[in-house]
Amino acid sequence: MSSFGRHPADQILGNFVACYKGSCTDKEVLQKAASGGLITAVLAFALEKRLIDGAVVTRMSKRHPLRPETVIARTSEEILSASTSKYCPVAPNTVIRRLRSEKGKFAVVGLPCHIHGLRYLEALDPRLKSKICLHLGLFCNHGVSFRGTECLLHRMRLRDQDVSELSYRGNGWPGKMSVQLRNGTKRKLSYQWYWNTFFSTYFFTPVRCTFCFDGLNQLADLSFGDAWQLEPRGKDSFWRSLIISRTDIGAQLLDKAESEGRVSLAEISVREVVYSQSGQLQVKKKNLRARRRVFERLRRMRDGSSHNLVRSLGLARPSTISPYVSIFLSRNMFTGKILRYAPIQMINAYNKCYHLVDSFL
């Protein structure tokens, strides 16, 4: 946490200035966004006011529509093309290298692991640090491998070569996965359906995600996520983001954007943030140490140093073991194929068992 020059103000949230829920005021941006469209709006505002000369963002590739690409956006249109979530691996490191030789100041948008790595690089490379003036962070519970997307396409009876454009979320909140086909037709999946069915129980999750302690992107200047559970059902429950301003730079930019009518904000309490993100905070904060112990024991068993599963795991809580069961099942060649073909009722039955076990915290 030395990036802020002080210890975290809060053990759960990290350093922060204020917390908000809100959305952008541009209806076009809002319609395309995963939730409140605030990252797109803030970046476009900063670019318009010449506070930045560009932004490192990620969009889906036009040439390879199932793969993301990280680019330096220099126009509002390019920033808009990178809106919405990407539930697949993203590697911004190649573009970060280019920033050393670029002229101007830049913003960077990334997941917690991206921002952590970037802050470390900046500490080692003053030239890179001088180029980056703004860090915008996304909340993240865990990532999803490319196999996750392949599984969803297979469930839709689509081949990779059939796809001309892919969007994981958008078209309202919480949104839909939209697949544009080369024959001109479009297929959609409800975000809540595909996430709850295949991804919420850690299918297709990289093992490294189980060691992450930072779901709220604590090293960003501004952190953004879905404002789960903070709105009543109905008309006003749509298109809301949760925002944590963590530095004076982030707070001042947010205030300027609000004063000029680019975003609409309502300040909320720390308790509301914790309530909204209670699920991931349970995983990231409270269960981390136990989960690491379980992984080390499972790894030793794999290496042949222990063959007694019960003794090796000892009194480990079931909720710390269950993510590794899902990860193994989706990574194994045989059981991974079952996820593509098994009846949804079977997968739902597994998910119910998973969440039942997970409730024994």
Q: Are residues 21 and 69 in the same domain?
A: yes
Work out the pLDDT band at 32, boundaries 50, 70, 90.
Answer: confident
What is the pLDDT at residue 260?
96
Q: Are residues 349 and 237 in the same domain?
A: no
Q: Are residues 322 and 229 in the same domain?
A: no
H helix or E strand, kind and range, residue 208: none
Q: Is the pLDDT score of 347 beyond 50?
A: yes
Of 301, 329, 330, 328, nearest to 313 (Cα)? 301
Q: 328 by DSSP, 3-state: which? A: helix
- What average pLDDT does range 243-262 have in this prediction? 96
In a domain, 150, yes or no: yes
In a domain, 209, yes or no: no
How far is residue 219 CA from its own chain's centroid? Answer: 15
**Ranges 55-69, 70-84, 194-208, 294-308: which has the least confidence:** 294-308
pLDDT higher for 359 or 144?
Answer: 144
Q: Give the chain's mean pLDDT.
A: 88
pLDDT (tens digit per residue) in 210-245: 889 999 999 999 999 999 887 655 554 456 899 999
In a domain, 205, yes or no: no
Q: Are residues 44 and 117 in the same domain?
A: yes
Alpha helices in the chain (DSSP H): 27-32, 38-48, 76-81, 93-99, 112-124, 126-131, 146-155, 191-194, 248-259, 270-276, 278-281, 288-302, 309-313, 318-331, 333-341, 344-358
Q: Is the pLDDT score of 204 beyond 70?
A: yes
Of 155, 229, 232, nearest to 187 (Cα)? 155
Q: Are residues 226 and 263 in the same domain?
A: yes
Backbone φ and ψ for 244, nearest 5 degrees, come out as -120, 115
In a domain, 91, yes or no: yes
What is the pLDDT at residue 236?
47
Q: Are residues 74 and 133 in the same domain?
A: yes
pLDDT higher for 97 or 358?
Answer: 97
Backbone φ and ψ for 138, nearest 5 degrees, come out as -100, 140
DSSP 88-126: S---THHHHHHHTTS-S-EEEEE-HHHHHHHHHHHHH-H
Q: 224 by DSSP, 3-state: which? A: strand
What is the pLDDT at residue 231?
64
**Angle at CA 20, nearest 5°, toward 170 and 274?**
90
What is the pLDDT at residue 264?
94
Q: Are residues 7 and 137 in the same domain?
A: yes
Q: Are residues 313 and 342 in the same domain?
A: yes
Domain encompassing residue 312: 288-358
In a domain, 34, yes or no: yes
Which residue among 244, 263, 280 closes a domain? 280
- Complete edge-to-edge strand list for the sheet that includes strand 186-190: 163-167, 176-181, 186-190
pLDDT (tens digit per residue) in 296-328: 766 665 554 444 433 444 445 666 788 888 999
- What average pLDDT does range 165-183 have in this prediction? 91
**Ranges 24-38, 81-95, 179-193, 292-306: which has the least confidence:** 292-306
Q: Are residues 108 and 244 in the same domain?
A: yes
Give the burial class of 154: count Cβ atoms within 10 A of its Cβ; 0-12 exposed, 13-18 middle, 19 or more buried: middle
pLDDT higher for 299 or 94?
Answer: 94
Q: Are residues 23 and 162 in the same domain?
A: no
Predicted structure pTM score: 0.90
Work out the pLDDT band at 277, boundaries 50, 70, 90.
Answer: very high
Q: Are residues 94 and 37 in the same domain?
A: yes
Helices H / strands E in the chain, number of each:
16, 11
Q: 214, 8 in Cβ contact below 8 A?
A: no
In a domain, 204, yes or no: no
CATH at 70: 3.40.640
| Count of structural domains, the chain | 3
Q: What percent of the chain has pLDDT over 70?
A: 89
In a domain, 117, yes or no: yes
In a domain, 210, yes or no: no
Which residue among 280, 304, 325 closes a domain? 280
Q: Are residues 122 and 233 in the same domain?
A: yes
